[in-house]
Amino acid sequence: MSTALSKDFVAGVPLTLRVHPRARRLKLRFDEKSGGLMLTVPPRTSRRAALAWAAEQQRWVEAQLARQPHPLPFEPGVTIPLDGEEVLLSWIEGATRTVVHASGALSCGGPRESFATRIEAWLRRRARDTLSAETRAVAEAAGVTVSAVSVGDADSRWGSCSATGAIRFSWRLILAPPHVRRFVVSHEVAHRLHMDHGPRFKAAEAALYGGPVAPARLLLRRLSPVLRRVGRRV
């Protein structure tokens, strides 16, 4: 698979062209993380033809842009979700660099230019600590072991579980309501029992979650566009 950065645009949106060896048709998608377009192209497809086809999708691109939530950069005065509740980001001149979560706000002092870095670092630490504790609790209930818990910022996955028992989550789950986060934790821990998505896996997932998972899964799907825009400037 090869990716070529392109200076082309569709409806003013930058486009990246990717040749995929298993692609059978042209596919255009909007990348929420970068705010750009990804054009997947089968091998031996003319670049000119692919770009011409993408240009014909302008109305679809405009519709995607209209549905995108506004970015929520880590800047003072911006409100972001945390555990499903709104919190106000606040920079306090003269205060310490330590981020404090109190009274519906995340606040800190220190150099103004590194405010965003401190807020994101705090959120990632909280996500790691919270998800580690919740995963241990669910794993204990399942009677399984987890070798490691880590957090990252995958484009499409909220969680993953390896055959070795290492579980990785998106740090953005700390932004979601706790019951939604627990659904993802239960899903990944259930993979320690069954590494597929068959009936036995689904039964284990529901048992660990404590009931039907469909409402939490649906809510996460609805919240995803907003959660993925937190910390973005575009």
Residues 172, 225 contacting (CB under 8 angstroms)? no
Residues 26 and 101 in one domain: no
Per-residue tokens: 94: 């003269």
- Residue 208 pLDDT: 98
Residues 163 and 84 in one domain: no
**156 has pLDDT over 90:** no
For residue 166, give every residue at least 6 positions away whose Cβ sits within 8 Å of its Cβ, in sequence order, or none: 146, 147, 148, 149, 150
Residues 166 and 210 in one domain: yes
**Domain membership flag for residue 72:** no
Residues 63 and 91 in one domain: no
**93 has pLDDT over 90:** yes
Question: Cα-flanking dihedrals φ and ψ of residue 90, to 5°?
Answer: -140, 130
For residue 209, give every residue at least 6 positions away whose Cβ sits within 8 Å of its Cβ, in sequence order, or none: 182, 183, 186, 187, 216
Residues 93 and 147 in one domain: no
State how far the alpha carbon of 109 is from the alpha carbons of 94, 105, 233, in Å.
Answer: 6, 13, 21
**Domain membership flag for residue 74:** no
Numbers of helices and strands, H then E, in the chain: 6, 11
Write the pLDDT tens digit of every residue in 211-223. 999 999 999 999 9
The larger pLDDT score, comparing residue 154 to residue 166, is at 166
- Residue 234 pLDDT: 67
- Dist CA 26 CA 31 (whole Å): 16
Domain-terminating residue out of 23, 40, 67? 67
**Domain membership flag for residue 139:** yes
Residues 169, 159 contacting (CB under 8 angstroms)? yes
The larger pLDDT score, comparing residue 165 to residue 69, is at 165
Q: Cα-Cα-Cα-Cα dihedral of 91, 97, 101, 102, to 10°?
A: -70
Residues 31 and 106 in one domain: no
Among 43-57, 58-72, 87-101, the minimum mean pLDDT is found in 58-72
Average pLDDT over residues 191-207: 96
- Residue 33 pLDDT: 66
Average pLDDT over residues 204-213: 97
The larger pLDDT score, comparing residue 129 to residue 222, is at 129
**Domain membership flag for residue 86:** yes
209: domain CATH number?
Answer: 3.30.2010.10
- Dist CA 185 CA 36 (whole Å): 30
**Domain membership flag for residue 151:** yes
**Full residue range of the structural domain in which residue 92 is found:** 79-119
**Domain membership flag for residue 234:** no
Residues 163, 219 contacting (CB under 8 angstroms)? no
Residues 186 and 137 in one domain: yes
- Dist CA 176 CA 131 (whole Å): 12
Residues 202 and 166 in one domain: yes
Residues 190 and 107 in one domain: no
Residues 96 and 176 in one domain: no
The tally of domains found in the chain comes to 3
Residues 9 and 94 in one domain: no
- Residue 5 pLDDT: 47
